[in-house]
Structure 1
């Protein structure tokens, strides 16, 4: 089995990708310092796959600790790099935190790739690299506009760093620009676990529906869109995970035509925030308590993907509808609410 290192493996997309990798015959190790994630998520991965995944609780900004992982695992065939801070609003408030964490961790990782001659590297990028595009849907050749947030700039810079690295080193690289991953594994054993108040729409919806959040804000109702709210491209996290495995398989096959290739990972459909809320209300039967408010700094007006390149070159397809995205997200929220009650009862000595 090929050994794959997944950074941010305890995170939302990382954990789902680990499941997909294992189900496709890969051996996986994880590195995640759990500053923005829970190590408990790997228990769900083990229940789904029957495989216990080793996680190195290491901060990739610490080069020596990162280097030690590679010394212990000199047979790594590929890396999928998720580990990064990702909250747009927080990045506007704390830009230096984002530039330091996201860029230093990437550079340290690439230093190890170079030292240990890791042949394949997949980078978790984002549609934020396009900024506010002049035309939608965006293709991989759409000229990037200035990013709307420091988070977006770290993805633009990360892509540039990897592009230049791939010119100077034989490692083959793929940049995956994904749009808005939502939903949870159908087993409800893993899903999104935001720490603190969620920055993304769907966990904000589900936490409001279940009562964790008393009222949800819709940021902006005066955008030039069909209902005034932002337009996004929502895609199920399992579809995203599948694309990462397929990208890695393309690199390992030796059939990748470019030293550094780029793929959009989106459903290809633009959905407004208010339409997403309506879809959730339909599948859950819960009326959401939300208020309309002003725009939020860093938000792009509208963006969705042309995903033809990924569908053709990666032999990838979308399997989950918007309704299924919302339903799996809701079932996951209900599951973790039940788990929370269980652990509270257990700690109180109740059965």
Structure 2
């Protein structure tokens, strides 16, 4: 087992009474005003925003609404820097003492960023990009996920995209102070959204499982991977099954925690470089590109890391029963079919434009010559 450091400073309250506990905590902390960050109309239509506002009223907290936040306006992963600055200014003008995020991962990221920037309103993104902000002054940060998938509601990373510079960066160690997880807040997700959320969490957890060196970390990752698939099967039959939604929500929250890969030997975060390449090429969403490229990314990395990928295929995809044929090749086909059977589009079916063909060559120009053919095959495998 390798050396490791684990940090999990976020206080997490899970259950149907999570928002009631938030009311108690806010009152105990003496919070009187809070900026409430949320996404689109779904927060209002679902009644989730009303539930949060009722919890704030019970705590005598005045809400300042900051809605319509969907993350990057250009479709890139991460929250939008201009919107973060706007929200921070609004929080500062209202003398908000807390920032509360209600929504998916982009809203969670925006909430964490606003809590910091509201105390440093003149900061430039380049001055804080990709560095630890631990211990720096910020507002109390509260996250309430309604689209459990990326785990940003309790992790250290805050993804930000600056449309002016076309730059995607991470702000580090902005753990929320509190996360309130209520599975009933996810009941507004339809079948496709629920499926995408569970499978994106599955992909992200796989990155933990691929590492070698810690049977404890691998064991925890396997339990979560199996649970995500088993509970997704239940949700395909009973969309509002509370226990199944709860298991998916908790799995998504745990997935990016450092505990999940503590003691393993490799960092597989390079997956996101490949995922973003497909996203940029075909102008796909983060979730679509993540699921579409995943099986083919596994095949690509198996060229140099075959033992890691075979471990995943044998123990997760085939549940310990080795199939006939090449384990990786057969596993890629089975995994792609499994995602397809769950209702995920695993091939880009639109005709490629000349612009897209040229863009592919521009993207491949970023790849080392020795890896060029492998990357080309990975990306083209995503085309119908």
Q: Same fold (TM over 0.5)?
A: no
More strand by share: 1
TM (norm. structure 2) is 0.28
TM (norm. structure 1) is 0.30
Q: RCO greater where, 1 or 2, for CA within 8 Å and sep 6 or more?
A: 1
More helix by share: 2
Rg larger in structure: 2
